Amino acid sequence: MAWIDNGPVSLPSGRTLALAAALIGAAALVGAGFGFSAAWRGGAQRVAGAIDPNQDIDQAADAKPLVTLVEPTAPAATNVAAANTAQAKKDDEDDDSSNEIAAKTAAVQAV
């Protein structure tokens, strides 16, 4: 198999091009044939998971969830009250420490 020099582009021989074109064309025809076959499938063949139009709706299986979710519950009121009391105590302590720092700062500035 020799390459033919045609200016700046080298092309394979005519036989090689014809063989490659024939293989690509054959693959296209086979793919189109499979596509038409799938599209015009007979009524006797069924697709997996397809719905049977003749099935009675009352006999159909009911859908069930894959996961059952648990209802969220609110925290107990006593826990909220205790948390609020603890936060209020902490805020008071922070205020006391802030007042102490302010007093010390004022004393240092006075000196």
Question: Mind listing the pLDDT tens digit for each residue in 9-25?
Answer: 777 888 999 999 999 99
If you average pLDDT over each of 2-6, 19-23, 62-66, 76-80, which comes out highest?
19-23
Q: Give the pLDDT confidence score for residue 44 in this predicted structure.
A: 53
Mean pLDDT of 21-41: 91
CA dist 42 → 22, 51, 53, 111 (Å): 31, 16, 16, 103
CA distance between the termini of the chain: 103
Contacts 24+ apart (CB under 8 A), 36-40: none
